[in-house]
Structure formats: C-alpha cells, structure tokens
Structure 1
Amino acid sequence: MVESCGFVFDVGVWRRRNVGVGVKRCGVDRSAKVWAGGGRGGGAWLPPRGGGFFGRFGGDGEGGKPNDRFVLGLGIVGGVEIARSIEKSEGLGRRNLSWPYILIGLNILAFILQGFMGDKLTMMGAKVNRAIAEGQFYRLLTSMFLHGSLGHLLVNSLSTYSIGPSVESWFGKRRFIALYLFSGFCGNLMSFYFLPQPSIGASGAVFGLLGALAFFLLRHRGLIRGSERNLTRFAYVIAINFAMGLSPNSQIDNFGHLGGLLGGVMFSYLIGPNLTIERVRGRPVLVDRPLLTQAIRK
C-alpha cells in the first residue's frame, strides 16, 4: 500500500503513458512505486496528489436597473483544495501547460478585453435569453469566459486554481477540458430555461469540476482515503453557495450552478475515471474503464 498525503493506492494506476510514478514525500518510502502501465521506455517522477480543505470566501455584485442587471455566478465560496502537487514532476509536471491555468489566463484576457470594449457584455457573448432563442447558441459557451468585475473574476479564478489541478490529475487533460466546457454549457442551458435575466461567469463550469470530483471520490471511496471527509466538505461548500443564492437581492445564478454541478456529475459517471483492479503482465493495476467506452464497445 502506498500512501500519498491522504490518497491510498493499493495497487497502481493504469494509464496510456509509459510512466513510473514515484512517491517522494509524506513519510513514504521513496522506492515505493505506483505502476502506470505501458510498454518500453523510461519513466518520470510524477507527484501524487493529496491535501485538505481551506476557506476562501468572497463575492461580488453588480448593480443596475433590473432589466440591465447581470446575474453573476459566484464560483465556489470556500474553495476546496483537495489536492496540491507535492513537488514538481521531472518531465511531466508544470513543464507542460495545464488546462486550469490556461483557462484562468483566458478569463483574464477576456476581462481585459471587456475593459477596452467598455464592458459591452451583451455584444461579447453574455447569456441573453432572447438572443439565444433567436439562434445565438454560442452564448451558452462564451458567457462562461466573461465576468462582471475584478472580484467576480478573482473568486472564479481562485476556485479554478483550487480544484482544477486535482480534477486534471485524475481525469487527464482531454477529459478535463471537455468536462469544463460541458459543465459550463449545462449550467448556462439550465439558466436559459429557468432564469430570464442575463448572466455571465465561469462558476457553472467550476461547479461542474466540483461535481465531477465528488462523484469520482464517491465511486472510488474504497480506494481513496478521506473520501467521506472530503465529500462532507463538498456538501458544505455547495450548501453555502446555494444558500447565498437564495438571499434577498442576490445576483447569484443558482440555476447556472445547479446545471453545472449536475453536468459535472453526469460527465464523471459516463466518461470519468472508472478504476477496476485487473492484472496486466502479471501485475495488479487499476485499469480505467469509463462506462460510456464500455457501452460503445459492447
């Protein structure tokens, strides 16, 4: 058994990359390895992930007339830091671009562009129901890159920075970006059907990351130590956010949050990691077999 700051790997992790995963800290023997399948070729030290919980509270609102007011997704209040890189990887760590940081950069660039354009959010692709009903479906995606103020941007960026690397480390880069966009789309779609006001913000996508990671921990609670504790914290974070959205004069898009959360759970259930113990080349490993992939192959 290899323990990595809260996560327990009983056998190994099967991935397509030919990588040997070494645990270097947290009181674990450096020689212990979690085998990451593959064929020939050398490996690289890849940091395991572990961590705890910390609070980041903040929010932002934007005034204006009722017809002009934008509903701002708040992001995750009390950002959940389920994992942090224990140390840099030799070959696979931060030398490669990571989607959470790319997305944060895109949100910052979009916010700067908003300033140059005089915050013409409707023109830049905000979720405006009438425009979407007329066929401008791209707004279901573009609105997640717009933010109403620096505080709004900061909260969503901190939330993405907090939980994003954990999700990417388990789901992989391609599934991560697909999850992020799908969750944001689902959040805006539910907001379109149930909230008449315009809305902007990445919080639907961030809630999707939270929902996906929560379902991943629930599915593998027998393999990952501390899953129940972290799931309790997730429930606390979600409850706080929805409670704030129900407060008088709130500008939080609870429908966007709920849609993103459900989208993330659905993505994790169908496409997310589904680890099972099998023997590969005589070694017990955890093989990732997503449900949708298995259904297609049958």
Structure 2
Amino acid sequence: MTSQPPSSPLPPEQPAEEVPTCYRHPDRETWVRCQRCNRPICPDCMRDAAVGFQCPECVAEGNKGVRQARSTFGGSVVRTPYVTWAILALNAIVFGAQYLLGNRVTLQLAMWPAGVAMGEYHRLITAAVVHGGIFHLVVNTWALYVVGPYLERAFGHVRFLGLYVLSALGGSVLGLWLDPLDQPSVGASGAVYGLFGAIFVVNRRLNMDVRGIAVLIGLNLVITFLFPTISWTGHIGGLVTGAALAAALAYAPKGNRTLWQVAALIGALAILLALVFVRTGAILASLA
C-alpha cells in the first residue's frame, strides 16, 4: 500500500498594508510624507520645500529663524500698491456719486468749519474724497497716481495710509482754525501736498537729488496763492503735516523703529485732535 506524502501547508495570509491618512485630515488617504517629520500630508497640507514637501508646522518652525524682508523704512514689502489704488478708486466712486446725486453729496462731505464745530467731525476727513469738478479730480488723482506708489513702497501699506490720512486731516485742521466759518472746501489736495512733502524728506534721507520735488512744491505753492478759490490752508496744512510725519518715519532709529514710528503716528493724531477740540470749543463760545 502506497501512501501519499502530506501536502505542504499553505503560507499564512499577509495582512493588507494600512493606507496612511493625513495627520491633519484623517478622512483623506495619502502616501506623501513630510520630509522633516515624516508625517503623512494631503495635498492641502503640502508646502513646497527644497526637496519634496513639508507640513505646515515644519514650515512655520523653519521660518522662525528667517528674517522677513522689510521696506526701506521698516514696513512690509510692497509689490502692489493696494492702498494707492484703493484711494484712487474711492475718489472716483465719490465723484460718480456727486455726478449722479448732485450737490447733496458735496454738502454732506465737504469741509466746513461751522459744521465741524457743530459735531460733524467726519468732514475733516471726508472732504479729501470730494472734488469740485472733473479737472480738480484729475489733477489730484494724477498726482496721487504718480507719487503714491513710490511712497507706499518706501513705507509699507499701513505707514503710507497713516501718512495720507493724517496729511488730509492736517490740511482740514488748519482750515478749521483760519478759514471763515461758512467757507466750504473740498479735495484731496491737502493729502497730496503731504505726499509732496514726504517725498522731499524721503529723498533727503536717502541722499537723493531733491531739486525736482523742491521746484514742484514751489510752483504749486505759487499757484495756490495766485488763485483765491484754492484753499491755501488745506495745502499748507497738508504739506507741513506730511513732511513732519515723513521725517518721524524716515529718521526713526533702527532699534525699535516700529515702536518709534507708531508713537509718531499716534502722537500726530493726538495733536491734531487736540487742535480740533480747542478750536471747536472756541467757535461754539463765539457763537453763543
């Protein structure tokens, strides 16, 4: 009787390899891992690295020791001057509202010393977006288009916005003190003159030729005083405020520069507001 050899046992079944899931999104399968910590990461968590990909945490950790690029005077690097474009667009929109709705818009937004004294403080700023006609609008917006991006790249978005708004406010404050109480004024000229003064200061700080901007400022001041319909207070107030603020920003010591610059902007705002309250009190007392 012959016997058959026992059949060889079957090899044990191998368990299927578990598909890894993203460490931040457990419902997403992925075979890609972070090159630094080896955690699985899905496409939404992948960050380009020198080799392969890294997870967001490793990228953030690596960036802690990387010094961020800054503008010439300490602001964030500006690739597109968004603030300048936004101001230009705002001026165009308000002028469109003036065209469509008539004098109602102008009367509500124009600078008017008696109106400010009666509590309409918004006029100190809103006057800078209202214009007396298409030529007035074109002159101011063209000047802003030419000089705005240069200064925005020098100071960064936030500092440039502070410079522009405070220059506009400075022009209105001088008008509040020296203009007749019933005299309205409109236009971005005060803010634009502030930018002219800032360019002069910036170019001096960078040891650049300032003769061109000096001539431009001089010619504009001559025009300001030749035509009685032009608000000289708005121009002078904006010019002085813009130049003073630019000096504070450009000459701030590099050690704790941001702190010095913030203090300069807040201090300028405080001074201008104090002048507003003192003058409005005096106006109300004279009208009582």
Q: Same fold (TM over 0.5)?
A: yes
Inter-CA distance 294–151: structure 2 relative to 1 (3 Å threshold): closer
Separation (CA, whole Å) in 1 of partners of 2:202 and 2:87: 22
The answer as to whether partners of 1:171 and 1:273 remain within 8 angstroms in 2 is: no
Q: What residue is the counterpart of 2:257 in the other structure?
A: 289
Determine if the alignment matches structure 1 residue 250 to structure 2 residue 218. Answer: no
Aligned amino acid, residue 223 of structure 2: M
Separation (CA, whole Å) in 2 of partners of 1:291 and 1:218: 23
Higher strand share: 1
What displacement does 1:250 show? Answer: 2.9
> Normalising to structure 2: TM-score of the pair?
0.60
The answer as to whether partners of 1:271 and 1:291 remain within 8 angstroms in 2 is: no
Determine if the alignment matches structure 1 residue 214 to structure 2 residue 193. Answer: no
Q: What residue is the counterpart of 1:237 in the other structure?
A: 216
What displacement does 1:265 show? Answer: 1.4
What displacement does 1:183 show? Answer: 0.3
Deviates more, 1:121-130 or 1:152-161: 121-130
Aligned amino acid, residue 144 of structure 1: A
Aligned amino acid, residue 194 of structure 1: L
Structure 1: where are the runs of 5+ without partners? Answer: 1-37, 49-90, 222-226, 277-286
Inter-CA distance 263–241: structure 2 relative to 1 (3 Å threshold): same
Q: What residue is the counterpart of 1:167 in the other structure?
A: 151
The answer as to whether partners of 1:216 and 1:273 remain within 8 angstroms in 2 is: no
Inter-CA distance 215–199: structure 2 relative to 1 (3 Å threshold): same
Query: Following superposition of structure 1 onto structure 2, how do residues 1-298 of structure 1 map, counting pairs within 5 Å?
Result: 39-40=65-66, 93-94=79-80, 98-196=82-180, 197-221=183-207, 227-228=208-209, 231-247=210-226, 249-272=227-250, 274=252, 289=257, 292-293=260-261
Aligned amino acid, residue 258 of structure 1: I
Secondary structure at the aligned position of 1:200 is classed as coil
Separation (CA, whole Å) in 1 of partners of 2:90 and 2:263: 35
What displacement does 1:162 show? Answer: 0.3
Separation (CA, whole Å) in 2 of partners of 1:156 and 1:295: 29
Moved over 6 A (4+): none
> How big is each residue's C-alpha offset from its partner over 1:151-181, in whole Å with a ceiling of 9 and x where there is no partner?
1111111000000000001000000011100
The answer as to whether partners of 1:208 and 1:264 remain within 8 angstroms in 2 is: yes
RMSD: 3.0
The answer as to whether partners of 1:190 and 1:259 remain within 8 angstroms in 2 is: yes
Inter-CA distance 144–232: structure 2 relative to 1 (3 Å threshold): same
Separation (CA, whole Å) in 1 of partners of 2:102 and 2:263: 49
Inter-CA distance 288–167: structure 2 relative to 1 (3 Å threshold): farther
**Larger relative contact order (C-alpha < 8 A, sep ≥ 6)?**
1
What displacement does 1:149 show? Answer: 0.6
Separation (CA, whole Å) in 2 of partners of 1:257 and 1:188: 9
Higher helix share: 2
Separation (CA, whole Å) in 2 of partners of 1:198 and 1:42: 46
Inter-CA distance 179–293: structure 2 relative to 1 (3 Å threshold): closer
> Normalising to structure 1: TM-score of the pair?
0.59
> How big is each residue's C-alpha offset from its partner over 1:88-123, in whole Å with a ceiling of 9 and x where there is no partner?
xxx9633xx611111000000000011121132453
Separation (CA, whole Å) in 2 of partners of 1:154 and 1:293: 32
Separation (CA, whole Å) in 2 of partners of 1:184 and 1:42: 31
Q: Give the number of the structure whose alpha-carbon radius of gyration is greater.
A: 2
Aligned residues: 195
